[in-house]
Structure 1
Amino acid sequence: MLAEYVAWGEKITVGQIQQGMYNDLIDFLNFRVETADTCLQLIERDRVADALGLSRSLLENYLLFMLMCRGRKFFKLQDRTDLTDGQFKAYLAEQQASLKVEQEAGSTACVAVAKYPRARRHLMYVFEGLKSEDDDGFVVPIHYFHFQEFRPEVMRLKREDYFEYFEYPPDTQKILEGHQRDAAVVYKHYLSYDALLTCLEVNELVDRPAISRIEAHYTFLGQFLHPTHNAARDLRTGSNYYSGSPAIGMNSPNTPAARILAALYVCYLVSGFLDEIACLHENAPNKYIADPATTQLRRLATEVPEKFSYFWFLFNEPPLYDKFTYCVNHASNEELDAWGHYSNAPNDRIVFNQHIYEHLKEAMSAWHNGRAGNYSPPVG
């Protein structure tokens, strides 16, 4: 996939007009691809924990990239914490009714009013993305601008705590303080992890089960990015042996399951990135992209959930092992008879297992159950 992505650049045929957004998003992806390549190098050197930590960064960037490519909706917030819960519910209903009237009259660009899920008594006014003055059908996602303009140092660091070449006059200082407040608002509601999930929901790019899977993978990978007791140790063979001697990590290698897991994360994340960039170019106006040339790119990305279906990531279907364990623990004899085989259990019945690593180790072993039958591992 990485090789095809690099080769893809020579295949794209640009239209009559150069639209910078497409170049910018490829540039964004180039550095994510670099991180993916670094993960592969780490896995080859048996530095699995470090590869998983970088995969957490890739996952967060993937969520942002989805919004930069397909996030056509954005929202504005209205703080109504001055109201009681009862008053807020009444006010929300009133605003929704008022919006319906305005929409019928064609006097508003707002598409929805709803309760903001991540703050009490805040209204969320939803709008379509920013449209080009020259092309009303071409929408630029607001995350594209927020990401480019956001500076973490502006949000977090107070200028008076650090060296400056000269002292700013009071009016300039007030403007800079305003920039800091604005940056904090953008981060809180658009770029933080929680905000990304909210924006993905607003844009209907994920549903609640997908968010549960994102949360589980994000939390698991976060163990290798933030201090977490024994997270890296548990990936090793003989993880319960403590030598007490200085070493680079441990003298024992990572388990085969840990190495496969790290590779699966890279594979699925790269596949997701390529799917987004391919979709973006395929849906581009012909005047911007005359020929996206994404056939081979898409073929390789699509093969990932087909070849490695035993790993349940964000958007692929439940693996056979998850269906097997569901049927063993929850399906009735009547249901098993009706389905004929545990593989035919309905997808919407299968609940994601949050214990990512242990679950994969179990899925790589053979199992037998008197009611459900036999499960054969996809890899030895």
Structure 2
Amino acid sequence: MRVARTARTLLQVATLAVMVATPVVAQDMISLVGSGSNLAVSLYSEWTAEFGRQHPGVQVRYLGLGTSQSLQEIRQGTGDFGGGEIPLSEAQKHGAKSTLIQFPTVVLAIAPIYKLPGKPDLRFSGEVLAEIYLGDIKNWNDPRIAKLNPGLTLPDLEITVVHLSGVKGSNYILTDFLSRTSPQWKSKIGKNASPAWPVGVEINRSEGMVTKVGATPGAIGYVELTYAKRKDIGYGSVQNAAGQFVKASGPGILAACAANEKSLPEDLGVSLVNAPGKESYPLVSFTWIYVPASGLAPARSRALKDFWNWALSDGQEIANRLGYSELPPGIAGKAKQAINSIQ
């Protein structure tokens, strides 16, 4: 009996020790989960981490699973918000359990990247990019490329076309631009987040795109500007709607925003691609967040609104540090109106 009592006592002490040593998760912790495009995943990771430090009662996570997956999870009720570079159609907005609203968070740009001897600063037009991705232009010394780059000696080097597989925001932005500038591309391929590429090497992610292009002499690809800057890979200027060659940069991105600001629709779902204006960079897009307009518990709805309001105010400093372009004040104000309409 004494042995049994001693054993029970030791068990109780051990159990108590485990209880004391094990952190207790607060019962009122609010956890929000979103998923979507990878283009802004580094930014959203920083935002969620910093917001969590400032608001220990709220945990926000963002998973780079792709736009289509995020919309599916919202419809199934397994995700709190989604993200992507494709504005929602009317059918998508009204096809879920709750109507979806969308709002932009930052502005980003897609840049054509390439690997050539001497890192020349190249110029591209939409027509030439389309002909490269259609397989009509096969060599870097093609007269159509040379015409855009007078004074440069282009190498006699075969072009290796690299493109992203699957449904990607980068694909959507690029093919939107090519469809607006090349009748041939528009008729053969069109605007699509998952186009039927006629030529090229397939890569799954933007990180892989940079790696592949950087390791392949003669390769061309396309990535969001922050990827190109982080990896120090060459990227070219692109001819805009005004006929000017503009390199992706903060001023060029904001000029494209300003050109569209007054004509923004109520739901902010507009393409910024090939915006008018001499200074506008043509391959520009918002990245949007998609959220059910209603259906969340009051505390979760409040936490979601608090997070995104913070992201569009204090969080913009983080966006700038990482190389993204923050929303102009007028557009940020409209985005916050959309956020605060969540029930």
TM-score bracket, normalised by the shorter chain, equals under 0.3
TM-score by length of 1: 0.20
Q: Which has the higher strand share?
A: 2
TM-score by length of 2: 0.22
Q: Which has the higher helix share?
A: 1
